[in-house]
A and B are shown apart, each in its own frame.
Chain A
Amino acid sequence: MVMFLIGTTGIAIALLLGCLGETITEKSGHLNLGMPGIMSIGTLGGCYGATLYVSWFGEQTSGFFVIIFSLLVCIFFSCLMGLIYNVLTVTFRSNQNITGLMMTTFGAGITEFAMTKGDFINKSSVAVVSNYFKTWIPGLNLEDSWLSLFIGRGILVYVALILAIAAGIILNKTRIGLNLRAVGENPSTADAAGVNVAKYRYIATFIGSSIAGIGGYYYIIDNLSGSVGSYPNIVAIGWLSLALVIFTLWKPILSILGSFIFGALYILPTKISGISLAQMKIFNLLPYIMTIVVLIITSALDSKENQPPASLGLNYFREDR
């Protein structure tokens, strides 16, 4: 049972970060379908950062600094992707769906290219960073006890949970959140009220991309202990995160719960004894089906609350008359 819950958290945190990144982006009115690509690129950035750092300072380096450095590179790579999206959709007003889809293909392509080509990524360097996530509290060894579920997990688990709660508070209780939501709901109103729509969209997309990129980073480097070869899974995690945004009704606090449900469904079939591989595949469909059900219910109820941001997917041009 502990193993099951630990497994669940592992997937759940990756999903949570992806979902959180996309939620923040969507709240600004950007439907960024490029998230799976961004998560891939973020992972690539993290692995590249680890490779660089270890090549500079060797394997016996400070865990703290190598984690910080690789995270920074991860964020930088993610933001480069966010920049492409921002320039195209905000500045050049390109179609968001098309741009996003292209970014997923592009991002996954770059990741595959770099991950498989020569020595761009050094697997053992990544493993070094991955190790630091396991042992960041010195001398802690809880084995399989219940406590290990809460204590001594990779630092990003706690970061993700804090980020989700913080995002929930910022979106709903602060001025910045209010402005951001207004930009996503009704950009011309926000503009008229003195909110810089382009600035909010750019920044929200940068922040969202960074968080999602960290999600991919977490999935490979912490959760899968640096098994770089699993990078193709990130795209699937990315799409599942997009589903999670809908499933949790664009609410970050709810997304903590949602990510654990999705994570449990993802991991559950491997933990039930006697379940066949085929039945497992059906299990894996459940998150998507549940998302569709939520999508249908919210559209059928047609209430004013719990809807996608009203201008999601639409670009804003002040002089549109």
Chain B
Amino acid sequence: MSNDVALELKSVSKHFGKIQANKNVSIKLRRGEILSLLGENGSGKTTLRNIISGIYFPDEGQIFVNGEEVVIKSPQDAYKYKIGMIHQHFKLVDVFTASQNIVLGLNEKFIMSQINAKVMEIANRYGFKIDPDKKIYDMSVSEKQTVEIIKVLYRGADILILDEPTAVLTPQEIEKLFTVLKNMRDDGKSIIIITHKLNEVMEISDTVSVLRKGEYIGSVETSKANQSELTEMMVGKKVELNIERTEVKHPDDRLILSNINYVDKDNVAILNNISLTVRGGEILGIAGIAGSGQKELLETIAGLNKNATGSIIFNNPKKNLPVTFFHKTLKRVKELAQEGAFHYEDGTAVDFTGMTDAKIRELVNDGKVLFNEDEVMDLKDKTPLQIRELGVRLSFVPEDRLGMGLVGNMDIIDNMMLRSYRKGKSVFLNRTIPGSLADKVIKNLEVATPSPRTMVRKLSGGNVQKVLVGREISSAPKVLMVAYPVRGLDVNSSYMIYNLLNEQKENGSAIIFVGEDLDVLIALCDRIAVLSNGKITGIVDGRTANKEKIGLMMTHTETYEEETAND
């Protein structure tokens, strides 16, 4: 047995309930080597990481450190074997200083000046910048990551595992990180980088191990590998996505965003002068590395970010279309009639004065009252409720399905009425309409559930998403925003979602699709806007776009330089 293997996993398996998260994974990490653990979302990288770091205990398999079999049943054990984990979501105590976080849980003399000196010594050896007395809540993302890395080095870790370390960094910061990692490798440390970014894999690693759907596919030396080969290992076959893209018919400027700015409560600029036009009958993709402002952009449009500035103009093509009570209340219809917004089929102006409510309802329900003009509304400073009361059918499938889009502890029917429960004057709920909607969604979208009265949290991820998307498209939205709609879904469910989006596009809906998989974005979207650090760095045509170009825009450097100037 060769002695230069720092960490070895043999046939490690782990399941959660019925889900097999890791199956027979075997990985070898040599000393002084950087190994990339490559895999798509849901391939089991995170589970494997948690097994190595003692958060989960494997159902089967063995772990060897320096050739000796070990049992890692807690993070303490991991430290004992000099394994250090740098989590994607930093595990830091906000009200502690950098040094306090670094020495947390250690058993050695607690003299702050000595600790600070040692921290600085490590920082200088590998080229980090750090202020040991700075509180975490005052730090930038990159500073926090530095604290995390020094934390494991301080504990004498020889094996470092970095989970998606670049996801939240700017290109300059990534470059610095890679320099530091290379310094550490040359110092004899063994490093595992968990990622799904191929270009980074090629740049930084010596060996690549690939996981797919929880299974170990294989390892190759980076110098002998090429990107298309790795992609194939990662996704199973060459990425020829068979996503249908229909032609755009009669596009109209549905939503016009101008100069949207948003600064969060920690005074960090999240959205930076965003101007964007979303057209009816087309799918607009939003690409960008995670945390570039996608979530905030959608939430601003949906009326959830009170502090955003700029304008959001909604154009509703309504000329000569009948007025409905679908979203308009009687009160709103009367107001609009007063403003002269309606006409009859013969062109005469509508005047409701003197009519009873019942008579007005009858006229409207018969489809005899038509709009004079297209509606133009400013959605800025409107709450989601006000937007709906204006009659704007804006649907939003958020990234956090159970935490935002749905209520996990409610059944499917009650979740169906989230958007519509307020309808009608009665103080009581009417569960018949949501009930039939639930039946319809279950049937049409093939939701696997025992009954419509089943709690949503008990459904699988794909079915949860179908319930959410089903509800959001049930109102025939004029604008449909979806964030990572296929994350965690199997292939069949994903394709169903793509088809539903295309269907909505055919119906003239303006669709904003925030995605992470560039292949999908390119195959599905008509146009793709690229976000980088809260800025739009380019808008490309989906039919002619290429991945490299988008990738370049995603890591555009211009914004970064401005950022440093502000620091």
Which A positions have Cβ atoms within 8 angstroms of B?
173-175, 178-179, 181-182, 185-186, 188-196, 304-305, 307, 310, 318-319
**Cα A154 to Cα B466 with chains together (Å):** 70
Q: Find out whether the CB atom of A189 lies under 8 angstroms from the CB atom of B55.
A: no
B363: Cβ under 8 A from any A Cβ: no
Other A-B pairs, 16, CB within 8 Å; known A175-B106, A189-B104, A318-B55? A178-B103, A179-B105, A185-B96, A188-B91, A189-B91, A190-B104, A191-B74, A192-B87, A192-B91, A193-B75, A193-B104, A194-B79, A194-B106, A195-B104, A304-B135, A307-B95
Give the residue name and chain of the B residue nearest to A176 (CB).
B110
Q: Find out whether the CB atom of B95 lies under 8 angstroms from the CB atom of A179.
A: no
**Cα A191 to Cα B100 with chains together (Å):** 15
Interface 0/1 of B87-125, CB less than 8 Å to A: 100011111100011011111101000000000000000
Chain B residues whose C-beta falls within 8 Å of the C-beta of A319 in the assembled complex = 55-56
B261: Cβ under 8 A from any A Cβ: no
Q: Find out whether the CB atom of A189 lies under 8 angstroms from the CB atom of B93.
A: yes
Interface 0/1 of B40-70, CB less than 8 Å to A: 0000000000000101100000000000000
**Cα A193 to Cα B74 with chains together (Å):** 10
Q: Find out whether the CB atom of B107 lies under 8 angstroms from the CB atom of A305.
A: no
Chain A residues whose C-beta falls within 8 Å of the C-beta of B101 in the assembled complex = 189
Shortest beta-carbon distance from B163 to chain A in Å: 12
**Cα A188 to Cα B105 with chains together (Å):** 12
**Cα A307 to Cα B108 with chains together (Å):** 29
Interface centre among A175, A185, A188, A196 (most CB of B within 10 A): A175
Which B positions have Cβ atoms within 8 angstroms of A?
53, 55-56, 74-76, 79, 85, 87, 91-96, 100-101, 103-108, 110, 135, 137, 151
Chain B residues whose C-beta falls within 8 Å of the C-beta of A196 in the assembled complex = 76
Interface centre among B55, B105, B107 (most CB of A within 10 A): B105
* CB pairs A–B below 8 angstroms (21 shown): A175-B103, A175-B106, A178-B96, A178-B104, A179-B105, A181-B95, A185-B93, A185-B96, A186-B94, A189-B91, A191-B74, A191-B75, A193-B75, A193-B91, A193-B104, A194-B106, A195-B105, A304-B94, A304-B137, A310-B95, A319-B55
Q: Find out whether the CB atom of A186 lies under 8 angstroms from the CB atom of B135.
A: no
Chain A residues whose C-beta falls within 8 Å of the C-beta of B53 in the assembled complex = 192
Chain B residues whose C-beta falls within 8 Å of the C-beta of A192 in the assembled complex = 53, 55, 75, 85, 87, 91
Give the residue name and chain of the A residue nearest to B55 (CB).
A318
**Cα A194 to Cα B155 with chains together (Å):** 11
Shortest beta-carbon distance from B90 to chain A in Å: 8
**Cα A193 to Cα B75 with chains together (Å):** 7
**Cα A195 to Cα B56 with chains together (Å):** 16
Q: Find out whether the CB atom of B95 lies under 8 angstroms from the CB atom of A189.
A: no
Q: Find out whether the CB atom of B75 lies under 8 angstroms from the CB atom of A175.
A: no
Shortest beta-carbon distance from A189 to chain B in Å: 4
Chain A residues whose C-beta falls within 8 Å of the C-beta of B100 in the assembled complex = 178
